[in-house]
Amino acid sequence: MIITQHVTKYFGGFPAVQDVSFEIHQGEIVGFLGQNGAGKTTLMRILTSYLPASSGVVLIDGEDMAGNSLSIRKKIGYLPETPPLYTNMTVKDYLKFAAEIKDVPVKQQRHRLDKVLEECQLVNVQGKAIGTLSKGYKQRVGIAQAIIHEPKILILDEPTSGLDPIQILQVRDLIKNLRNERTVLLSTHILSEIEQIAQRVLIIRAGQIIVDDTLDALLSVPGAAPDGRSTLEDVFVRCHQKSHEVSGE
């Protein structure tokens, strides 16, 4: 579903992403982790065709990003860390607008709108201006615009950032409910989110993938948890320490 082969991205002389290769299969939910500045957002923008790679190949659902970016965008739903919301619009009008710009056929727009309002639990606020909503509801609106065109792939960058514990649970449940219909790549600093949602984990450091494994395999290593297993926090710290030792930093 998503294949990257030796992807590199330079900003000037700085390699933000270096020789990255991995595959994400249909229906997987993959957690994408890394410290600030590690290259997560840059790579996610490459995968959504917002940024071109300096070199390497990106294949989305069998299509090469280099020559098919417009058709590939129709297969991807993207929620950036700051959702692209027009706060003066009502929820319903904004989602109608999102459906139009994402080329949802006119005859299907009403059905898609009703479906995402229900899926994202926005029915009761559909007539309210987005600017009056809580951050939790705004995140739901952001997810709704990302899925209204029924993409095969959903890419979420910090979807629970700044939310309170109840809002986090609500957004987490929403993402879980989407997993049977879409391939999901989820970036977050909240490691417990990945443990609750993901099946597989990618960890990036200094623009390079240093971990690509299933969550079960990573957590099965002996650690400090009460059951003797590792937590994802243990895994994250251990992998970065090992990477520091290898690089001699």
Interval 125-171: pLDDT, tens = 999 999 999 988 999 999 999 999 999 999 999 888 778 888 888 88
The residues that bridge with 32 in the sheet, in sequence order, are 187, 202
Mean pLDDT within 204-228? 83
The residues that bridge with 29 in the sheet, in sequence order, are 184
**Statement: residue 51 has pLDDT above 90:** yes
Neighbours of 10 (CB within 10 A): 14
Q: Which of 136, 153, 134 is nearest to 59 (CA)?
A: 153
In a domain? residue 143: yes
pLDDT digits 0-9 by tens, 160-210? 877 888 888 888 888 887 776 789 999 988 788 888 889 999 999 999 999
The predicted structure's pLDDT at residue 94:
97
Give, as one character, the DSSP assignment of residue 198: -
In a domain? residue 194: no
Residue for token pair 């959903």: 154
In a domain? residue 225: no
In a domain? residue 123: yes
Report the number of distinct structural domains present in the chain: 1
Residue 18's pLDDT band (boundaries 50, 70, 90)?
very high
In a domain? residue 105: yes
Q: Domain range holding 106?
A: 83-150
Q: Which of 177, 185, 101, 102 is nearest to 140 (CA)?
A: 177
Distance in angstroms (rounded) separating the CA atoms of residues 8 and 4: 10
Question: 142: helix, coil or strand?
Answer: helix
